[in-house]
Structure 1
Amino acid sequence: MAKVIITCAVTGGAHTPTMSDALPVTPDEIAQSSIEAAEAGASILHLHARNPENGAPTGDPEIYQRFLGVIRQRTDAVVNITTGGSATMPLADRLAAARRFRPEMCSLNMGSMNFAFFPAAERITAWKHDWERDYIVNSDDYIFRNTFRDIAQILETLGEAGTRFEHECYDVGHLYNLAHFIDRGLVRPPFFIQMIFGVLGGIGPDLENLVYMKSTADRLFGRDAYQWSVLAAGRHQMPFLTQAALLGGHVRVGLEDSLFIGRGTLAASNAQQVEKIVRIIHEMGHEPATPEEARAMLGLKGGDRVEF
C-alpha cells in the first residue's frame, strides 16, 4: 500500500474568528485541535499562532511556546512552524518563532505574490472583533513578500538548525524559483513541495493545472528527488486532494485552507477533515503515513532535536 503523508494546517492567518466557531484561536484550542488532528491520522501539523484575546495572527514566540510543548508531549507528529505568518507581517516577525524553536520543518513560500481573500467579506454582516473586517477587505492590496533575498535568508538561517521545508508553490514560477535555490546549493533532496491551488493571486484549481505543475516538477527535479503534496482552498479542498492522491501525491487539509467539510457545511474541527481524507485514501487502497514514516520520506532531523 502507498503511504500518504497527511498534513493538517490547523489555524492559518487568513480566516478570522467570525468565519467559523471551530477555528482555533487560543493556545489551548490550537494545542487540542492539533492533538485531535494527529490522533485522526495527520503526521505533520502546520502551525500558526493567534492573539488569544482577539484571534489576530501573531508571530510572537511567547504565544507559540504555550502550545508547542503540549503538542510535543502528547503527539509524535512532525511540527511545522510557518514562516508565512500573514501577508501583513514583516519578515522578522514571521521568522521569530522558527528561529527560537528550531523545528523539524517550516513552511516557505517560494516567491512574492498577490495574496487576496477580500471576497469573503461580502458574506459577513457582523464581525466578532474590530480588526477583522479591515483585515479581510484590505487584502485586495496585499502583496505577500518573499524576495529571492528573503528566501535565501530563511534557507540559510533555519537550515543551520537542521530545519527542512514545506516549499509552498502557488504557481509554476515558484517551481522555477525552487530550482534556482537547488542550483545554489541551498536546497537538497529529498525536498517537499506543497502545490497550492485556488488562492486568489495564485494558480487556479483546475485539474489541468495540477497535471502541469506535477510534470513541470518532474522535468525540473526528477521524480526521485522530491515528495509532493497538494492543498486546495475553500470548496476545492476535498475534490482536488482526491485527484492528487489518485496521482500519487500527499495531501494537506485543515481549517487554514478550508472551513468546510462539505458543500455549505462548516467543519466541526480539523480532525473531522483529517478523518474524511483518511476515508478517501483508504478507499484507494492507501494508508496514512505515520510521523516516523513521514520523517524518513522527508529526511527530517527528528523530534528530539527541536528546542521546545
Structure 2
Amino acid sequence: MNEPLIITVAPNGAYKQPGDHAQLPITPATLAATAKRCCDAGAAMLHLHIRDAAGRHSLDVEGYREALRVVRAAVGDAMVLQVTSEAAKVYRAPQQIAMVRELRPEAVSVGLRELDQPEIGEAGLAAFFGWLAAERIMTQVIVYDVADLQRWQVLRATGLIPDAPWLLLFVLGRYSAGQVSSPQDLLPFVQAHQGPEPWAVCAFGAAEHACMTAAAALGGHVRVGFENNLYLKDGSLAPDNAALVQQVAQSAAVLGRPLASAAWLRARLLP
C-alpha cells in the first residue's frame, strides 16, 4: 500500500480578509468551525494563522493559545495543529524564534530563509533547530526554491541541523509571474531533493489542485486552502476550505493513497 497522504489545510494565511471570501476564517470560533469541516473532509493537519484586533497578521503567544484552545475543543486529537511563524513583513527572525520557544506548540512551520539571517547566524540556527528536535515539536521547514533546498542540505550535511523527523514544504510558483503555480514547478524540487525528509507542496492559484495531484502521484504530501487559492479545479469559486480538501481526497482515492490520520502523522513525525 502507498504511504498515506497527509492533507494539511491552510484556511486563511497572513493577508487575506473575509472580504476576499465570506468563508475565510480569522477568529478562533470561525477557525474552529473550519477546522472541523476540513477534518471531516480528510485533513489531518491545520496550518494556523491568527490576527490581531485590527485583523492583521499576528504572532502573539496569548492569541495563539486562545485560538489553539478553541480549535482543539472542536477537533480533539483528530487534527495536528500547526502554527505559523511567518514574518509577513511584520516580524524579524529573533521575534519568530522567541514566539515558538514561548508557545511550545505541537507543530510549527518555519521559513528557512526567514530564520537564516545574520542576526541569528549558524550558531543560532543550530541552537533553535536542536531545541525543536529536543522538544519533539513537529517542524515543517518551508523552502521557496531549489537554492533554499540546497541551503537546507548543506546545513544538514554539516551537522548544524540535527537528525530529526523534519518535514519539508516546497512552495511552487512563489516567484513566478503573477504568483501562479504549475505542476511543472515541482520537478526541480523533486530532482534536487536527496534527503530522507518527507515533503509536501503548496501552490498558488487555480492550478493548485493539479499541483496537489502531481505531488500525491510522486509520493509527496499536500497543503491546500484559502491561504494560497480560492478556486476549485474547474475554475469556480470554492464554497469553503473543506471543498478544496475534498478535491484532494478524491484524487488520493484515484491514486490509491489512503488519507493519513492525525494519529498516523504523529507516529510518522514524532516516533
Give the TM interval when normalised to the shorter protein.
Answer: 0.7 to 0.9
Distance 2:226 2:180 in 1: 19
One-letter identity of the residue aligned with 1:239: A
Offset from partner CA, 1:1-31 (integer Å, 9 cap, x none): 3210111112111323322221111111112
**Quick check: 245-254 or 86-95, which moved more?**
86-95
Please state how far the C-alpha of 1:192 moved relative to its aligned partner.
1.0
Distance 2:181 2:147 in 1: 16
Match of 1:33 in 2: 34
Is 1:235–2:236 an aligned residue pair?
Answer: no
One-letter identity of the residue aligned with 1:84: E
Distance 1:104 1:196 in 2: 22
Question: Contact between 1:4 and 1:287, CA under 8 Å: does it hold in 2?
Answer: yes
Is 1:87–2:58 an aligned residue pair?
Answer: no
Distance 1:239 1:25, change over 3 A: same
Identity fraction in percent? 27
Match of 2:191 in 1: 215
One-letter identity of the residue aligned with 1:217: H
Match of 2:150 in 1: 176
Q: 2:230 aligns with which of 242, 245, 259?
A: 259
Question: Contact between 1:13 and 1:85, CA under 8 Å: does it hold in 2?
Answer: no
Is 1:111–2:113 an aligned residue pair?
Answer: yes
3-state SS of paired residue (2:24) = coil
**Quick check: 166-175 or 268-277, which moved more?**
268-277
Q: 1:247 aligns with which of 218, 226, 233?
A: 218
One-letter identity of the residue aligned with 1:61: V
How many residues align structurally?
A: 262
Please state how far the C-alpha of 1:164 moved relative to its aligned partner.
3.0
One-letter identity of the residue aligned with 1:238: H
Please state how far the C-alpha of 1:215 moved relative to its aligned partner.
1.7
Q: 1:272 aligns with which of 229, 232, 243?
A: 243
**Quick check: 278-287 or 89-98, which moved more?**
89-98
Structure 1 portions without partners, runs of 5+: 113-144, 301-308
Offset from partner CA, 1:239-275 (integer Å, 9 cap, x none): 1111111111111111112122245432222212111
Please state how far the C-alpha of 1:40 moved relative to its aligned partner.
1.6
Distance 1:181 1:271, change over 3 A: same
Distance 1:38 1:154, change over 3 A: farther
Question: Contact between 1:106 and 1:164, CA under 8 Å: does it hold in 2?
Answer: yes
Distance 1:154 1:261, change over 3 A: farther
Structure 2 portions without partners, runs of 5+: none
One-letter identity of the residue aligned with 1:35: K
Match of 1:100 in 2: 102
3-state SS of paired residue (1:168) = strand
Match of 1:122 in 2: none
TM-score, length-scaled by structure 2: 0.86
Match of 2:69 in 1: 69
Please state how far the C-alpha of 1:184 moved relative to its aligned partner.
2.3
Question: Contact between 2:32 and 2:70, CA under 8 Å: does it hold in 1?
Answer: yes
RMSD in angstroms over aligned alpha carbons? 2.4
